[in-house]
């Protein structure tokens, strides 16, 4: 029996969320509306990939089944992934991507600020390193949320639709009703309210409204995913699966 | 997207040096321009400070006025103090 089950669960959760969102963002490469945004989206994707690597390297050290971060990324089956459904969702239009990112960045910053206080030096170290990047991610997605939400009538309506659409997925980030999450209930319940509070200033400035529904997706941490993840994994894993151990 | 204004980007590479022009980019607001400048120009630890200025706000000299602006200084050699020996410790003159 693994003695570090909480640490393993936490690092897989953090690592998988970052890994899958990074993959989604990288799909914008070659398709972004302008050159500057293309670079920015790719940079955020790279930041998240680097963070995923730190978490998964730690997970691989604890894990009894997988030896390296690459093993965890490329050799796991879909039901072994622990990410929330939010990060699997398709990019949609630019506003969709921005709202998904804004929800995620807010939560990401809060959770890292908490993990930064951890007594586990490894976890605190990864959190400290990640925070510098995530503060910038949030700055960007918050600015875009305000620009588009408080922009034209069309951009406002599109963004409000995105805000409604991603809401149940985003709530899963703070879902307290999951076992083996690696978080204690205090943190989970605290961060759900803190998370909603942290959104509200920017949402108000963007003249948008958060939905009132409390329905939340769940299951990601138990390995239950939307069909989107299977397509992501098929693309991400096909090369190492077809040519095991290949290098370039 | 073509209506986004063009911004000139200036980056100070270290304390004590002046901001240096590094290039330009498009962005909808000055805040976004700073963000974009971070992504386009500072991914390799280049700077400690970023300035952005709307390109339209820069007044430039006309190439035709080159003589008027620069020629008169050529025959005043005291404006070119190349004959002073600088101590080694004085950097960045």
pLDDT at A1: 43
A55 vs B30: CA distance, rounded Å: 35
Could you tell me if A101 and A133 are in contact, meaning their C-beta atoms sit under 8 angstroms apart?
A: no
In which element (H, E) is residue B6 found?
strand B6-12
Nearest to A233, CA basis, from A75, A58, A101: A75
pLDDT at A179: 46
Non-local (6+) Cβ contacts of A33 within 8 A are A94, B1
Non-local (6+) Cβ contacts of A10 within 8 A are A115, A123, A181, A182, A183
In chain B, what are the domains? 1-57 (3.10.20.520)
Average of pLDDT values for A211-228?
91
Q: In B, which residues are within 8 Å of A32 by CB distance?
A: none
Please report how many Cα atoms fall inside a 13 Å half-sphere around the Cα of residue A53, on the Cβ side. 7
Average of pLDDT values for A177-206?
73
The rounded percent of chain A whose pLDDT value lies above 90 is 77
Helices (H), chain A: 5-26, 35-62, 69-75, 94-115, 121-149, 153-171, 185-205, 227-242
Could you tell me if B47 and B13 are in contact, meaning their C-beta atoms sit under 8 angstroms apart?
A: yes
CB contact under 8 A, A36 and B39: yes
Could you tell me if A213 and A168 are in contact, meaning their C-beta atoms sit under 8 angstroms apart?
A: yes
Convert the pLDDT of each residue in B26-81 to its tens digit. Answer: 999 999 999 999 888 887 766 789 999 999 999 988 888 777 777 766 677 777 66
CB contact under 8 A, B43 and A139: no
* Count of other CB atoms within 10 angstroms of residue A143: 20
* Mutate: best of A32, A36, A94, partner B, most B CBs <10 A: A36
Rounded to 5 degrees, what angle do the CA atoms A111, A115, A121 make?
A: 160
Position A188 confidence tier, pLDDT thresholds 50, 70, 90 = low
Position A183 confidence tier, pLDDT thresholds 50, 70, 90 = low
CB contact under 8 A, A43 and B31: no
CB contact under 8 A, A36 and B31: no
Could you tell me if A234 and A77 are in contact, meaning their C-beta atoms sit under 8 angstroms apart?
A: no
In chain A, what are the domains? 3-242 (1.20.1260.10)
Residue A85 has pLDDT above 80, yes or no: yes
Kindly report the length of chain B: 93
Kindly state the tokens that stand for B72: 């008169």
C-alpha A108, offset from chain centre: 7
Task: Tell me the sheet residues that pair with B49.
Answer: B12
Q: Give the A window 9-68 contacts with B, CB below 8 Å.
A: 33-37, 39-40, 43
In B, what residues contact A, Cβ < 8 A? 1, 4, 25-29, 31-32, 35-36, 38-40, 43
Residue B1 has pLDDT above 60, yes or no: no
Residue A28 has pLDDT above 70, yes or no: yes
Could you tell me if A230 and A173 are in contact, meaning their C-beta atoms sit under 8 angstroms apart?
A: no
In which element (H, E) is residue B41 found?
helix B30-41
Comparison of pLDDT for A166 and B61, the residue scoring more: A166
Residue B87 has pLDDT above 50, yes or no: yes
Q: In A, which residues are within 8 Å of B24 by CB distance?
A: none
């Amino acid at each position: 029996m693994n003695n570090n089950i909480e640490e393993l669960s936490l690092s897989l959760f953090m690592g998988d969320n970052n890994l899958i969102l990074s993959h989604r963002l990288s799909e914008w490469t070659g398709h972004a509306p302008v050159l500057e945004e293309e670079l920015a989206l790719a940079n955020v994707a790279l930041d998240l990939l680097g963070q995923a690597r730190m978490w998964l390297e730690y997970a691989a050290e604890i894990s009894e089944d997988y030896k390296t971060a690459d093993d965890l990324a490329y050799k796991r089956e879909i039901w072994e992934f622990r990410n929330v459904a939010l990060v699997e969702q398709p990019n949609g239009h630019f506003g969709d991507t921005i709202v998904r990112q804004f929800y995620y960045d807010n939560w990401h910053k809060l959770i890292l600020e908490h993990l930064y206080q951890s007594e586990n030096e490894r976890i605190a170290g990864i959190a400290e390193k990640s925070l510098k990047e995530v503060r910038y991610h949030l700055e960007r997605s918050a600015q875009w949320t305000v620009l588009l939400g408080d922009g034209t009538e069309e951009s406002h309506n599109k963004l409000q639709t995105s805000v409604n659409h991603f809401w149940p997925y985003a709530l899963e980030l703070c879902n307290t009703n999951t076992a083996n999450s690696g978080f204690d209930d205090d943190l989970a319940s605290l961060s759900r309210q803190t998370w909603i509070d942290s959104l509200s200033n920017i949402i108000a400035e963007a003249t948008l409204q958060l939905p009132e529904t409390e329905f939340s997706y769940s299951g990601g941490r138990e390995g239950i995913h939307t069909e989107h993840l299977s397509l992501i994994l098929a693309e991400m894993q096909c090369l190492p699966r077809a040519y095991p151990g290949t290098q370039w | 997207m073509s209506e986004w204004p063009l911004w000139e980007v200036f980056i100070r590479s270290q304390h004590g040096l002046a901001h240096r022009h590094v290039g330009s980019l498009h962005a909808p607001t000055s805040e976004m321009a700073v963000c974009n400048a971070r992504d386009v120009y500072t991914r390799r630890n280049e700077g400690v400070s970023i300035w952005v200025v709307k390109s339209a706000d820069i007044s430039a000299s006309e190439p035709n006025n080159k003589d008027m602006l620069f020629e008169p200084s050529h025959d005043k050699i005291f404006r070119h103090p190349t004959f002073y020996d600088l101590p080694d410790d004085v950097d960045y003159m």
